[in-house]
Amino acid sequence: MLVGSWQERFLGNEQQIIVGGAEMKGKKSLKVAGSIGLILVLASLLLVAAPAPGTAGEKAIELRFSVQQGAKAGKYVRGHEPWAKMVEEATRGRVKVTIYPSGSLAKAKEVYDATIGGIADVGWIAIGHYPRRFPLTEGCTIPGTGIKDSVTGSRIIWKLYNKFPEIRAEFADVKVLTMHAFAPISIATTKVPIRALHDVRGLKIRATAGGVSMLLEAAGASPMFMGPGDIYLNLEKGVIDGSAMGWEGHGAFGIVEIAKYFTVVPAFTGPQFVLFMNQKKWDSLPYHIQEAIMSVSGQVASRLYGMGDDKTSQLVMDKIRSKGAEIITLTPAEEARWRDLAKPVQDKWLADLEAKGLPARVVFDEMLRLVK
């Protein structure tokens, strides 16, 4: 029955088949000379008829993927969702990735521990939501590095992760799939346009921990820490005066609907993000499944997210302009003032990390080399 059905499907009128290097033709029957040829044909038929991995009769492995963005956000549409589909394709359907958006499985500050605990199988986090937990990785947000776009930032952070075991050690309790980064950072405000360094003094600006908040503090602002989902309401109520984040964040969390001014500050180094998997879940996967997942993770996923963020940035800026809001570009003199302000922040941060026994300056110097 197996041979007959295969023949009927593939060996109809004037079909061709290669057997042991010889081409044979037949109209409704197949003639094979010799037992060796017959064995080869039967083996071929069994291979063709056998179900491929992920087909009927084999249950797919489900991975629960926890993210904080909504299903319409740029990072979801151009990062999380494409990566999930790439995993399913690379594993030939053996793995199904189910995305839980908008913090429905775990909130932004809970995703890492929720993934370690098995609530999620795959998690995505912004390093800035975990102050001092990943000190050397957080150090990659030191201001004044000159990273101007997401693709560059993503390539650099992934290279640093692979080069320095001290960075990898900060994530020893999970399987890191990739890292990526965002740039540039802008300050969105509702009432006060920031055109000069002194304009930020006294303002309450939402920011993540790390380089952005440290530079804001040095400039005389008061950094405020809160989850991204809380920014809009706090801006609306006047609890905060503005929010410092990337274009994608301004778009994803509704800041473009309420802010009137967006000031690009090149001295900021963008946030770092990590895509990772529960270690036990990873260890339970067959080796060929692990290989397939990593074939679309690592550098591939880092570039995917970086390119997606750069594309989203342009779309968000277009939307801001269409709403009549102003995107403010600092003058060269003002950019220099922010850069000068970043230098003592760099020195203090590096000294603090070095005092903890971390090779911060070596990592920072390598980052500057990669930027160039």
Q: Which tens digit of pLDDT belongs to each residue from 194-236?
A: 999 999 999 999 998 788 999 999 999 999 998 888 999 999 9
C-beta of residue 198 within 8 angstroms of C-beta of residue 191: no
Which one is predicted more confidently, 44 or 259?
Answer: 259
Q: What is the pLDDT of residue 30?
A: 34
One-letter amino acid of 313: S
Q: What is the pLDDT of residue 256?
A: 96
Q: What 3-state class would DSSP assign to 1?
A: coil
Q: What is the pLDDT of residue 353?
A: 94
Is 70 exceeded by the pLDDT of residue 78?
A: yes
**What's the mean pLDDT when you consider all of the chain?**
86
> According to DSSP H, which parts of the chain are helical?
2-10, 35-49, 74-75, 81-90, 111-116, 135-138, 150-163, 165-169, 211-218, 231-237, 247-252, 279-284, 287-295, 298-322, 332-355, 360-371
* pTM of the complete model: 0.78
Q: Which tens digit of pLDDT belongs to each residue from 241-285?
A: 999 999 988 998 999 999 999 999 999 988 899 999 999 999 999
DSSP 8-state assignment for residue 242: E
Which one is predicted more confidently, 354 or 57?
Answer: 354
Is 90 exceeded by the pLDDT of residue 133?
A: yes
Percent of the chain with pLDDT over 90: 74
User: Domains of the chain by range and CATH?
Assistant: 2-49 (no CATH), 61-139+151-179+273-309 (3.40.190.170), 185-270+312-371 (3.40.190.170)
Is 50 exceeded by the pLDDT of residue 9?
A: no
Q: What is the pLDDT of residue 288?
A: 97
Q: What is the pLDDT of residue 37?
A: 41
Is 50 exceeded by the pLDDT of residue 4?
A: no
> According to DSSP H, which parts of 134-221 are helical?
135-138, 150-163, 165-169, 211-218
Is 50 exceeded by the pLDDT of residue 159?
A: yes
Q: Which long-range contacts (CB under 8 A, 24 or more apart) does 233-241 make?
A: 234/206, 235/190, 235/259, 238/190, 239/204, 240/204, 240/205, 240/206, 241/189, 241/190, 241/191, 241/192, 241/203, 241/204, 241/205
Is 90 exceeded by the pLDDT of residue 157?
A: yes
Which one is predicted more confidently, 118 or 45?
Answer: 118
Is 80 exceeded by the pLDDT of residue 34?
A: no
C-beta of residue 178 within 8 angstroms of C-beta of residue 207: no
Q: Say how many C-beta atoms besides its own lie within 10 A of residue 274's C-beta.
A: 24
Q: Which tens digit of pLDDT belongs to each residue from 282-317?
A: 999 999 999 999 999 999 999 999 999 999 999 999
Measured distance CA(329)–CA(42) in Å, rounded? 70
Nearest-CA neighbor of 93 among 279, 280, 292? 292
Q: What is the pLDDT of residue 12?
A: 33
